[in-house]
Amino acid sequence: MLLHRLVAVSPMLLCACFCLVSFPPNLLQLLLPRVSYLPVVTDKVKKHFLKVMRPEDVEEMWFEYEGTPLKWHYPIGVLFDLHASNTVLPWNITVHFKNFPDQDLLHCPSNSIVEAHFMSSIKEADSLKHKSQVVNDMQKKDHKQLWMGLQNDKFDQFWAMNRKLMEYPTEDGGFRYIPFRIYQTLSDRPFIQKLFRPVSPDCNAHTLGDLLKEMYPDALTNDGEQKRYQVLIHGIEPLLETPLQWLSEHLSHPDNFLHICVVPVPTD
């Protein structure tokens, strides 16, 4: 549980320096939580900049970093690890209020869209873990509690419900399949997501290394080679022998997925 707290509660620092494209420079510094989503935590941004802009200039708000529009439906931590894990902090991202890039980003007019996306991730994860039994047994108010716990940064409220999603029958030794996504920077594919069991047929626990060997063998360093890639979860590199079941239980994001970022090792 101690680890849970470390991961879920501690926000990552994102210092965002926002520059308006056509206005005098305006800065805002924020600490954003890793586990949340951009539209949920950036109300303050909107309010701040609306004060200095003309109302007719304001359309939908969107963020970009070094020319890449940031997908709001990824958790903030994932975005950071993927784009800027080895850059100097603070992480400067730019906010725009015009010219929404329809090809690259989904529209997000309100927080209820984020809530819908979040809940659908949870349900997808549970369908992999428990054939959707646990999430379907929950009542609507329990689902609401999960979302509210995330939105309002209430650790205990969230985990009261999330506990149920992390249980499994002891004879199975783990979940049915592990919900995970592997993000890569250098590929056009959005992410890798496949079925993978936590326990091998001969009852050995699968490790992180086993998963990578199966799904993304390039990420692993062969003997004798230089390390080319970093495998990041929540901004840290766990050892490859860490059991996958444990990782899924303890290092998943609030949407119950294990988001793994594979980034190239910095060259300088």
3-state secondary structure of 54: coil
* 3 binds other proteins per the rule CB under 8 A: yes
* Residue from 19, 69, 90, 143 binding other proteins (CB under 8 A): 90
Q: DSSP label at 100?
A: -
State how far the Cα of 42 lies from the Cα of 37, in Å rounded to an integer: 9
Return the number of the residue (6 or 106) whose C-beta is nearest other proteins: 6
DSSP-based three-state secondary structure for 193: coil
Cα-Cα-Cα-Cα dihedral sign, residues 159, 114, 40, 90: positive
Q: Does 30 bind other proteins (CB under 8 A)?
A: yes
Contact between 204 and other proteins (CB under 8 A)? no
**Residue 234 interacts with other proteins (CB under 8 A): yes or no:** yes
Rule CB under 8 A: say whether 265 interacts with other proteins: no
Query: What distance in Å separates the CA atoms of residue 266 and residue 268, rounded to the nearest whole number?
Result: 6
Q: Which is nearer to other proteins, 77 or 149 (CB)?
A: 77
Contact with other proteins (CB under 8 A) among 21, 89, 106, 116: 89
Q: Which stretch binds other proteins (CB under 8 A): 134-142, 181-189, 212-220, 229-237?
A: 229-237
Q: CB-wise, 46 or 131, nearer to other proteins?
A: 46
**Any idea what DSSP says for residue 176?**
S
**Residues contacting residue 171 through CB under 8 Å, at least 6 positions apart:** none
Residue 251 binds other proteins, judged by CB under 8 A: yes
Site for other proteins in 43-62 (CB under 8 A): 48
Burial of 233 (0-12, 13-18, 19+ CB in 10 A): buried
Which residues in this chain contact other proteins in the complex, by CB under 8 A? Answer: 2-3, 6-7, 10-13, 15, 28-31, 48, 89-90, 234-239, 241-243, 251
